Structure 1
C-alpha cells in the first residue's frame, strides 16, 4: 500500500497570524513553508534596535493572556516552557489631562475606588462596578460566541443562541454612549473610552462590545514579555521550526498561481521568479493588498478588491522611537495624553483623515518595566500619535478611478514635524519634564507611508479594516477565499479582527477550516484544558473542599416558598376569625 502524500502549505507573511497558522498546520501533518518579504519575522510585532536601545515597532502591551497561552497549549507546550517571561506592569496607565490632573488605571480595586469616588461621588464606585460587570459580559460572550466561531455565512448570525448573546453585547451602541450611562463626568468618560485606539477607531463609533478591552486590562492586568513583544512570536517561530516549518525571509511573493481551470490555487511565484507548489495557500499579508496584488486579477477579484477599498479602514499613526541619554522617571511604562478637544481629535482622524490640531497620544517607556530595553542610566521611549491614513494607495492594481484614489495631497513631512512639536510641548507642560528634545540622542520615525511600504498595509492603516457593526462577524471578509479554491486568510482584516490575541484566535479558526475542508484530523480539538491561569481542572480536584457544587435546585426553593406562603395564609386566617371562628373586625 502506498503512503499518503504529505500535504503542502505555503503561508505568505510571517506576522502573528502567519506564524501561529504555520505551526498549527505543521502540527496537523502539513509540510509548511512561510514566505516573508522582510528580513525579520513578526510583521508589526518586530523590533527596532539602536546602540543598546530596543523598541517594539508595533504592539507594546500584552492583553488577553489566555489567548496567548492557548496558542502554545494547543502545540503541546507553554509560554514558560519556551523561555518567555511575562512581566506584569504594576499599574496599567497614567492618564494625563491638560488641566494638570492625572488618573491612574489599575487592577488595584482600592485605588480605583478612591479615584472614581473623587470624581464621581460616593455612588460613582457602584456605577463603576456595574460598568465592569457589563464589560465582563462583553468579554465572556465575545470569547465564547465570536473568537471561537467561524462566521462562514450569514446564516451563522441567525441561531437563537447567537442572537441572544448579541443582544447582551450591545453591538448597536457606541462605547461612548454605554460608558456615559455609568460615568457622569466627562473626565471619566474619556478615561474609560480611549482604548478604542487599539482598534484604530473612534469611541464615538466603535461598538460598545469592545469595552472588553479595558475590562481585560482592569481584571487581568497589562503584561510585557521580557525582551520585547517579539519574544512571544519568536518563541512560536521556534515551536513551528521544531514541527518542521521552513521560514524563508527576504522572499516577497509576486502572485498566487492557479491550475489550468483558473479557479484553484496551486502555489506561488516569488519576485525572484521562483515558483513553489502547494495544496493550500494561507495569506497573512494585508487583505486589501492581497486581493489587489497577489490573487490573479480576474474581473471578480478586481470587483471584490474595489469593495474592500470602500470599507472603513483603521487609522494610521506617526510613531517616534527615541533613544534618550538619561532616564525620565516622571513617565511610567504606559502613559496616555488626552486632547482637551477630545471628540474633535477623533473627528480629525476619522472624518478628515488628518492629524488633529491637538492630538491625543500614547507614550511607552519599555525600559521602565524591562531594564534590558535601554543601556544603564538611559530610557527608550516610544510615542504613538494616531492620525488619518493615506488618502491614496500604492496598491496599483486596486482598479479604483483616480478621483477615488487621490484627494487633497497630505504633506507628511510637515505633519510629522507638527506632531513632534505637539508631543514634546504636551509632555513637558503636563509632567514638568524639561523638553525631551534635549535628551534625544537618536530618533527613528514610522509614518503612514512607512507602514504601507514596509508592511504592505493598504493606505498605511496600521490595524487593517475597521470594526464597525457592518464590518464584523459574517460581514467581515471571510477566512476562506470565495473566488479561488485552496486560498485562506488570517490576520487583522479578516475574521475575527485586529490585535495580536484576536489574530491568534483567528489562526486557530483558519487552521481548523483548512483541516476540515480537507477532512484531516484537528489534533488540538477536544484536548483537555491544562492552561495554568484557568484554574485547576475539575478532574484534578482531589479534595472534597475543592469540589464544585451547584446550589440547591430551583425546585427546592419553590417548595420552601410555597410552604412559607401557606403558613402565612394560615396565620392570616387565625387573625381574621379568632379562636371562636367569629370575624373580629
Structure 2
C-alpha cells in the first residue's frame, strides 16, 4: 500500500482549492498528505458538487452519478493516501445484472459480467457465431481500456508536444480515435439492437455514439469485465470519505463561501488567493490556487477576460439532462437497479440532443433504483427512483430562453414544456414496455433541468459533463491542468485533462498533485510507493519542458501535424 511521505518542515506551501467536487476534495487530501496547508472554499453548503445527495424525508437520491465504474482508480486514490475504502467505512456492492435494456417492442437484453449469461443473451439476437464476435469486441475494448489507463489517464499532456511521446504514438492507431464507438461496434455486432446495446455508454461522457471516438468502448469493457458497483449510502459516501481524510490531515473546509474572483498579483502573472462574493469577508491569500469550479465558468467569471476564455464558451460541450427524482409509496420489482429504455429512432434521438439541443420526440433514458441494492435509500416497501433524460445543453451560458442558435435557428428552449413532455414520455414508455404504472405512486418529486444544473453548480450551458470528448477536445487539445500564462494557478475537474467522470477526475487529481509538488520542488512528497524522486523527475518527457529550442519545437509540431493528417487520411 502506498502512502505519502509527509514532511512538515519550513517548506509548507499554503493552497486554496476552489470547489469541493470530487476532484477538489481528492486534490486537497493528497496535498495535505504531502505537507501542504490546504483550505477548500465551496459555494454550496455541501461537498461533492454533482456527486451529492438529495434527501426528501426518508428517501435518498444520488443527484448525479449513480453507478461506479473503473473501481481500480477509486482504490488507488485511497491507497495513495495510506488507507482503504473499507477502512474509511465505504462498502461497494455489485449490481447484477449490470443493466436491463428495454427495446421499443417490449423485448429486453440483460448486460452482465457473467459469461454464461452473456453467451445466452447474445446468441438470442446474433446467433451462434455472434458470441465469438462478442469476444472479439471484448478483446478490442480491453485493449482500449488498458492503453488508455497507461498512456492517457496516468500521463499529463502539458503541451502539444506531449502527444509525440513515442510510447503513446506507438499505440495511437490501436485506440481508433478517428472512428466512432458505433462504427467500431458495427464491425462486431450485425444486428441493430446489439449495436445499440454496446454503444449507449458513450452517454457517460455526454456524447452521441455516432460521434464519440472508438476508444471509448473502454467504458463498455469496464462494465463487462469489472462490473457496475454502488456505494452503500449513496455515491456521496466516497466524497465524504475523502473529505474526512483531508480533515484528519489538516484540510480546512469553508462551505457556503462563493467567491467573486481568483486574486492575481499586480502584474497579473501569479495567483495569490481568492476574493469572496460576500464583501464583509476578508480575501484569502495562498501560495497557489487550484480551481475545481467548472472550467469555462472559471476562465470567464473568476479570471480576467481573455480570448482563450471566450473560446472555451464556443467549444463543443457535453449534453445536459432533465433528471427526475421520484419517491414512490410502493416497490416495482420489474425495474432492476439500472435500466435503459432505448428509443426506436436511435440515431435521430441523438441528433435532436447534440445538433438541435432539444429533447428528442422519442428519448432514450436511464432509470436507476438505488433502493433495489441499498434498502436505506427508501422506506421499507417503497422505492426511490432517479430518471435521467439526456437533452441538449443551453444555447448559451447566460440564458435559458435564448431564441435561436447557430445549430437551431429560431428554436426556443421552453423548459417547462420540455419537462412536461419528458415526464409524460417516461411514464408512458415504462407503462407500455413493463405494464406498470408509476405515476399514481409518486408521492414526492424533485427535478433538475439545464438551468438548475447551471445555477446550482455554475455549469457552463448547463452541460452536466463539461466539455465534449471529441478528438480535438482530448489529450493535448483539452484545457491543461495548469494555466498557460498565470503562475501558481492549476485546474482539476471534468473539463480539464484527463476528462469527465468521477474515476477520471480522481486520476486527474493525482496528476495535478504530482505537477504541483514538482513545480514546488517537493518531488520527495509524491507517493513513495508509486514513484521515487528519481523516477518522478525522469518521467517528465523532455518534450514537455520549455528548454527546447524554437526550431526543434516547430519541427516536432510539423511532424505531429503530418502524422495526424496521415491518420485522418486512413480514417
TM-score (norm 1): 0.87
Equivalent pairs, count: 519
CA RMSD of aligned residues (A): 1.8
Equivalent position of 1:494 in the other structure: 496
Cα deviations by residue, 1:478-501 (Å, 9 ceiling, x for unpaired): 000012111100000000000000
Alpha-carbon offset, residue 409 of structure 1: 2.7
Q: Return the alpha-carbon distance in structure 2 between the equivalents of residues 263 and 128 of structure 1.
A: 54
Superposed, 1:54-203 pairs within 5 Å as 54-203=60-209
Alpha-carbon offset, residue 84 of structure 1: 0.6
Q: Return the alpha-carbon distance in structure 2 between the equivalents of residues 98 and 317 of structure 1.
A: 21
Q: Return the alpha-carbon distance in structure 2 between the equivalents of residues 163 and 395 of structure 1.
A: 42
1:446 aligns with 2:448: yes
Cα deviations by residue, 1:38-68 (Å, 9 ceiling, x for unpaired): 0100000100011100000000000000000
Alpha-carbon offset, residue 392 of structure 1: 2.1
1:430 aligns with 2:433: yes
Alpha-carbon offset, residue 309 of structure 1: 1.2
Q: Which of 455, 458, 482 is the equivalent residue of 2:457?
A: 455
Q: Which of 398, 412, 420 is the equivalent residue of 2:415?
A: 412
Cα deviations by residue, 1:526-556 (Å, 9 ceiling, x for unpaired): 4169xxxxxxxxxxxxxxxxxxxxxxxxxxx
Alpha-carbon offset, residue 156 of structure 1: 1.1
Q: Which of 320, 343, 347 is the equivalent residue of 1:343?
A: 347
Alpha carbons 2:365, 2:388 under 8 Å: kept: yes
Q: Tell me: CA distance 1:403–1:369, structure 2 relative to 1, closer, same or farther (3 Å).
A: closer
Q: Return the alpha-carbon distance in structure 2 between the equivalents of residues 477 and 82 of structure 1.
A: 33
Equivalent position of 1:542 in the other structure: none
Alpha carbons 1:128, 1:182 under 8 Å: kept: yes
Equivalent position of 1:537 in the other structure: none
**Secondary structure of 1:482's match?**
coil
1:317 aligns with 2:317: no
**Secondary structure of 2:525's match?**
coil
**Larger-gyration structure (1/2):** 1
Q: Return the alpha-carbon distance in structure 1 between the equivalents of residues 220 and 528 of structure 2.
A: 30
Superposed, 1:169-568 pairs within 5 Å as 169-273=175-279, 274-297=282-305, 301=306, 303-394=307-398, 408-433=411-436, 435-527=437-529
Alpha-carbon offset, residue 304 of structure 1: 0.7
Q: Tell me: CA distance 1:356–1:364, structure 2 relative to 1, closer, same or farther (3 Å).
A: same
Q: Return the alpha-carbon distance in structure 1 between the equivalents of residues 292 and 524 of structure 2.
A: 21
Equivalent position of 2:4 in the other structure: none
Q: Return the alpha-carbon distance in structure 1 between the equivalents of residues 239 and 395 of structure 2.
A: 32
Alpha-carbon offset, residue 306 of structure 1: 1.4
Structure 1's consecutive aligned runs of 4 or more residues displaced over 4 angstroms after TM superposition are 402-407
Cα deviations by residue, 1:246-290 (Å, 9 ceiling, x for unpaired): 011000011011112211111110111320001110000000000
Alpha-carbon offset, residue 521 of structure 1: 2.7
Alpha carbons 1:349, 1:355 under 8 Å: kept: yes
Alpha carbons 2:514, 2:526 under 8 Å: kept: no
Alpha carbons 2:517, 2:526 under 8 Å: kept: no
Alpha carbons 1:283, 1:489 under 8 Å: kept: yes
Alpha carbons 1:319, 1:447 under 8 Å: kept: yes
Equivalent position of 2:30 in the other structure: 24
Alpha carbons 1:333, 1:368 under 8 Å: kept: yes
Alpha carbons 1:74, 1:524 under 8 Å: kept: no
Q: Return the alpha-carbon distance in structure 1 between the equivalents of residues 218 and 170 of structure 2.
A: 18
Alpha-carbon offset, residue 161 of structure 1: 1.4
Alpha carbons 1:95, 1:336 under 8 Å: kept: yes
Cα deviations by residue, 1:404-463 (Å, 9 ceiling, x for unpaired): 799643110000000000000000001111x21100000000000000000000010000
**Secondary structure of 1:326's match?**
coil
TM-score (norm 2): 0.89
Alpha-carbon offset, residue 6 of structure 1: 2.3
Q: Return the alpha-carbon distance in structure 1 between the equivalents of residues 522 and 194 of structure 2.
A: 51
**Secondary structure of 1:383's match?**
strand
Alpha-carbon offset, residue 523 of structure 1: 3.1
Alpha carbons 1:391, 1:407 under 8 Å: kept: no
Q: Tell me: CA distance 1:214–1:528, structure 2 relative to 1, closer, same or farther (3 Å).
A: same
Unaligned 5+ residue runs, structure 1? Answer: 397-401, 530-585
Alpha-carbon offset, residue 155 of structure 1: 1.0
Q: Return the alpha-carbon distance in structure 2 between the equivalents of residues 395 and 436 of structure 1.
A: 33
